[in-house]
Structure formats: structure tokens, C-alpha cells
Amino acid sequence: MYRRILVPTDGTELASRAIDLALGLATLARGTLIAVHAGAPPFLLAPEVGFGAPLQDAWVREREQLAHDGLSYVRRCAGEAGVACQTILVRNDAPWQAIIDTARDQACDLIVMASHGRGGLARRLIGSETAKVLTHSAIPVLVVR
């Protein structure tokens, strides 16, 4: 039984099936769900480039909203299912690295993630972040289409 289950969310509905499965496994094991969103660092252009400021603000707000929506969706689902849940927002350029690091720091024993995320290129066989997590993870990864 997996008791500390990490589920990365990119804030889109692509993660919802993985969230469902993770919740199911956590329910059976009376485990804890740990949701992580890897947000990009809070800069788009170099901060000293003043003319980018309005664009920058809008972009940061949009990203914050995405992260917030994704994590609160997991918290709500876990609440409805009666599963203990923790949500974590990490700032990292490389989402896969954030996922691997969080899994280690939180002593997780399973990662449940979608085969594709927001990254686009739907025709690609498997999402690039998922492929990197598979490559670097020392714990099992449940890949969900």
C-alpha cells in the first residue's frame, strides 16, 4: 500500500484523471495525498527591463491563478473523499525537478501523474516532464493517460 502519494498538478484538467486515481489509492490505504504545483519563477523578462512590466504583471497573475486553482481543486476533491491532503507550491523552472525534489522531501512512496501535461505537442508519445520524472524517480510512478 502506498501511503504518501504525490500528485503533480499543472492547473489544467489534464491532471484530473491522475488526481482521481491518486485519491482512490490514498483512500484505500488511508494515506495522505500531497499535491504539488511547480510554478515558474516569478520573472518573465529580466526585472530591470522596465518596458516589460505591464506584460510581466499580467503573466505573473495568470500563473498564480493557475497554480492556486490547480491546488485548491485537489484540496477540494480530497476533502470530499475524506483523504488527508497537503498542497505545495514550488518555484522551479523545471517542473520534473520540482516533482522529484518534493517526492524526496516529503518522503513520498508513489507519484501518480498524467502522461501529458500542458506542454502541448499532443502527438508526442509521452509528455517531456513525465518522461524526465520516469527517468529520475527512485519511487514508482503511476502514469495515467
Partner 1 sequence: MYSYKRILVPTDGSDVSAFAEQAAVDFARAHGSEIVTLSVAKPYPAYAAAEASMAVDPGLDDQALRDWAERNVRRVAAAAAAAGVPCTTLTVFSHSASDAILDAVTEQQCDLIFMGSHGRRGLSRLLAGSETQNVLAYAQVPVMVMRPPDKSGHRPRP
Q: Does 13 bind partner 1 (CB under 8 A)?
A: no
Q: Which residue from 3, 21, 60, 92 is in contact with partner 1, where contact means CB under 8 A?
A: 21
Q: Does 20 bind partner 1 (CB under 8 A)?
A: yes
Show the site string, 98-117: x = touches partner 1 by CB under 8 A, - = not. Answer: --x--xx----------x--
Q: Which of 140, 135, 145, 130 is nearest to 38 (CA)?
A: 130
Q: Does 88 bind partner 1 (CB under 8 A)?
A: no
**Which residue is listed with cell 516569478?**
42
The beta strand positions in the chain, using DSSP E, are: 4-8, 32-39, 84-91, 110-114, 141-144
Q: Does 138 bind partner 1 (CB under 8 A)?
A: yes
Q: Do the Cβ atoms of 108 and 141 come closer than 8 Å?
A: no
Q: Does 125 bind partner 1 (CB under 8 A)?
A: yes
